[in-house]
Structure 1
Amino acid sequence: MNELNFIDLFAGASGMSEGFIQAGLNPISHIEMDKYACDSIRTRAVYHFVTKNGKEKFYFDYLKGEISREELYSQVPKDILDSVLNIEITDDSIKSIFSKIDKTLNKKKVDLIIGGPPCQAYSLLGRHHENIENDPRNKLYIQYGRFLKHYEPKAFVFENVPGLLSANKGQHFKNLKAYFRKIGYEVYHDTLNAADYGVLQARKRIIIVGWKKNIDYGFPEIKKIKVETTVNDIFQDLPKLKSGEALHVADYTIPKNDYLKRFELRNGVDFVTQHISRPHNARDLKIYKIAIEKWDKNEERLKYPDLPKELKTHKNESSFADRFKVVNGKGVSHTVVAHIAKDGHYYIHPDIKQCRSISVREAARLQSFPDDFYFEGSRSAAFKQIGNAVPPLMAYSIAKAIKNKL
């Protein structure tokens, strides 16, 4: 089969792209406005190159802090690094973006465009903003469409939050579908839950698939994956941490289990990185302990109004009453979102002996990133990238279904 090439728009840290690469597709370019996410994409692109060319030792040396990023990057052709464009997609920048991508194509055809524009405007939280109708993020699908018009791929995959369907009483979604049809694509959508595709997280997302009208395949059948694994199962081989403790490089504590083998989350690397916990003050740790005890006893969530008076800091007890939430160790996690970069209250580790919020690596595992995926930037930057990502395992299932059709 000829190699299928894709462009990833609004790429984030490239979680969606990672799934498509694992399914055998070839990335031509990634476009992303966040600097740290672009650094992560470049580092991952280097990983894919050096592992294909027998130079993975350089990557592992980098993870261990034994060589610099510059030394690692020197192992790959410059065009691999240049294919990651750290730029915001706007009316002013789009021609320059096309020009840069066109130079790297070298007669290759773009078969597929993937990506999901920033979704905050459609999220439940985002809808509280007064001026949502004028939020420029609502029209980013038009920028997406300009790439479709320029490159005319056979298909596209557009990911977003379920709120897209109901925003502005459904009018935004109607406009989006009409626009994509106008520029030559048949459009189908479905709401998928990442937990149905091997990800240990209840994460619902709208997946829109568009086909050039002459090759219309409808919405592809995406095979579901059943797993019996729990969150506790994928945390148990990681070293125990205290609040504020950071293990930048550490040994695993036990051999990998069937889940970690099957989905290759521990894939050839014999150490773990970025097992970093944020620090918490004494009051928050007391609250976390109460929340974990409540959850362990009756699987009951802590409500803010139920806290002892001396632990309360907010007079408003009705908004965000469930601001403290324990990750369900005996099942799948609730949705990991970018807010995890601001505080850990919504992602409390299920083990009361650790009594902290989850680490960067634990959050990455909930999103199904392999352990050798390295997030550049600070702890907060890493959390933000993870929370915004499409889970690679979910993306892999989508990619396989699209690839089979193409």
Structure 2
Amino acid sequence: MKFSAIDLFSGAGGVSEALKKHFDIKCAVEFDKIIASTYALNHGSDHLLVKDIRKVKKKKWNRIKSKLNGDNLDLLVATPPCQGFSRHSRKKSVTNADDRNKLIMQVIRVAKILQPNYILFENVDNIVNFKIFHIFLTLLANLDSDGHKKHRDRPSYHLRFEVVDAVNYGVPQHRKRMILIGEKINEFPNTDAIIKESVKGQPYVTNPLPLWPKTEKAPTLRKHLEPHNLSKLEAGGVDEKDKLHRCRNLSPDNLIRIRATPRNGGSRSDWKEEQLTLECHKKSNVSFGDVYGRMNFDNYAPTITCGCLAYTKGRFGHPEEDRAISMREAALIQTFPMHYKFTGKVDGNAHEGSSENIATQIGNAVPVRLAQSFVDLIFNQLLNVAQIEFFSEQLVAATQA
């Protein structure tokens, strides 16, 4: 049995990869044409809208709604751009006016039209410190202080949101993300779902939704990658049988640096020759200690970012080979399956085009296994309700016979 879903801000399709096991994806929305090309390579383009979500009119959403045969949408997924909420944003204020931050309000707009039974939302952990997110929660809950619906034309949701580390959901990397689940409220009043604010100004739900997947510790990087038997590469190399398994070249100086870095977890602090250290890194208050570091096969990867192909941008050195990790390794650490295709140009074929574009898609993606944990949970909830309704109908029919 498949339920209906919509994937907003779909990116390269990591969440859709998790969704398609149990859900019929009615629509996916992605603004960037190159990223949308990757999505289409893997999930088709019939249901894909390559458009600024703010310009998708109510008329279009109503047409999609009409295909649900009178039912509400089962699941609305939203993974809006996170850069404006990031701790690394140049705009440090939690009240900054980055236009991308306003995109989360599109979830409210679409939910009003489609009235989904569940909402799944993902973003960076730092979003909880932003006033606009507090407003977002209040609008999603849509309850007054007595637990009654505040605006009759909008759905109300019982929410639960937490900051999680993807490593606890089967993903072999430390990646902290804020995940929110919302379940539509059908009976009022509901005083458990009221959004309040702590004395420190942090939002919370009176009694959070009692729905969350069990944790599952990820395998180490070695155990995760070994079954794929990836070929060894030199810096700048490419596997002719797997075009995604290619890595950046290293300058002569950086080649010396990585050779001086101990295998499996070594960092620039291990260099014995002082001249290898950049002047800017010699200051005592310099952060980003992972720069020029190696991953550790017997541990977990750091957060895979858009700069994951660059040895100079984080702990993205290969654990044992003298090179940065490849695009294939980055995609596997993000738990994309081996068959997944990426393209770096509009309407490009698999693994063609700009490596930087592909790295951005991989780094921005929701890890597939992380998404799968939450998608499976919501599917099982929907299935339980459907089964209860089915047996209730059968019982009524038998009673009337």
* Alignment TM class, shorter chain as reference: 0.7 to 0.9
Match of 1:241 in 2: 233
The 5-angstrom pairing of residues 186-205 of structure 1 reads 186-205=158-177
Residues 1:287 and 2:257 are matched in the alignment: yes
Q: Over residues 27-48 of structure 1, what are the superposed CA-to-partner deviations in whole Å (9 max), with x where a residue is unaligned?
A: 11110112222111111114xx
Residues 1:401 and 2:391 are matched in the alignment: no
Residues 1:382 and 2:346 are matched in the alignment: no
Does the 8 A contact of 1:304 with 1:321 survive in 2?
no
Does the 8 A contact of 2:257 with 2:276 survive in 1?
no
Deviates more, 1:132-141 or 1:301-310: 301-310
Cα separation, partners in 2 of 1:140 and 1:391, compared to 1, 3 Å: same
Query: Which whole-Å CA distance do the structure 1 matches of 2:368 and 2:301 have between them?
Result: 16
Match of 1:40 in 2: 38
Q: Where does the alignment leave 5 or more consecutive residues of structure 2 unmatched?
A: 143-153, 188-192, 194-207, 345-353, 383-401
Match of 2:329 in 1: 362
Structure of greater relative contact order (alpha carbons < 8 Å, 6+ residues apart): 1
Query: Which whole-Å CA distance do the structure 2 matches of 1:150 and 1:399 have between them?
Result: 22
Deviates more, 1:125-134 or 1:193-202: 125-134
Deviates more, 1:392-401 or 1:94-103: 94-103
Amino acid across the alignment from 1:244: G
Does the 8 A contact of 1:245 with 1:278 survive in 2?
yes
Query: Which whole-Å CA distance do the structure 2 matches of 1:132 and 1:357 have between them?
Result: 37
Does the 8 A contact of 2:266 with 2:293 survive in 1?
no
TM-superposed deviation, 1:109: 4.6
Cα separation, partners in 2 of 1:123 and 1:97, compared to 1, 3 Å: farther
- Other structure's SS at 2:36 match: helix
Q: Over residues 29-73 of structure 1, what are the superposed CA-to-partner deviations in whole Å (9 max), with x where a residue is unaligned?
A: 110112222111111114xxxxxxxxxxxxxxxxxxxxxxxxxxx
Match of 1:89 in 2: 53
Query: Which whole-Å CA distance do the structure 2 matches of 1:26 and 1:176 have between them?
Result: 27
Relative to its length, the structure with more helix (as a share) is: 1
- Other structure's SS at 1:234 match: helix
Residue of 289, 292, 312 corresponding to 1:324: 292
Query: Which whole-Å CA distance do the structure 2 matches of 1:248 and 1:89 have between them?
Result: 39
| TM-score computed with the length of structure 1 as normaliser | 0.75
Q: Where does the alignment leave 5 or more consecutive residues of structure 1 unmatched?
A: 47-80, 251-272
Match of 1:174 in 2: 134
Query: Which whole-Å CA distance do the structure 2 matches of 1:4 and 1:370 have between them?
Result: 23
Query: Which whole-Å CA distance do the structure 1 matches of 2:106 and 2:239 have between them?
Result: 41
Q: Over residues 337-390 of structure 1, what are the superposed CA-to-partner deviations in whole Å (9 max), with x where a residue is unaligned?
A: 2232666642434444x2111101100111111000011112211111111111
| TM-score computed with the length of structure 2 as normaliser | 0.76
Match of 1:372 in 2: 339
Query: Which whole-Å CA distance do the structure 2 matches of 1:163 and 1:304 have between them?
Result: 32
Does the 8 A contact of 1:341 with 1:381 survive in 2?
no
Query: Which whole-Å CA distance do the structure 2 matches of 1:129 and 1:178 have between them?
Result: 24
Amino acid across the alignment from 1:223: K
Query: Which whole-Å CA distance do the structure 1 matches of 2:167 and 2:328 have between them?
Result: 19
Does the 8 A contact of 1:304 with 1:322 survive in 2?
no
- Other structure's SS at 1:331 match: coil
Amino acid across the alignment from 1:398: F
- Other structure's SS at 2:314 match: coil
Query: Which whole-Å CA distance do the structure 1 matches of 2:247 and 2:303 have between them?
Result: 19
- For the pair shown, the structure with the greater C-alpha radius of gyration is 2
Residues 1:149 and 2:112 are matched in the alignment: yes
The 5-angstrom pairing of residues 237-276 of structure 1 reads 237-250=229-242, 273-276=243-246
- Other structure's SS at 1:121 match: helix
Does the 8 A contact of 1:344 with 1:358 survive in 2?
no
Amino acid across the alignment from 1:380: E
- Other structure's SS at 2:53 match: coil
Amino acid across the alignment from 2:36: C
TM-superposed deviation, 1:110: 2.0
- Using the aligned pairs only, state the percent identity: 28
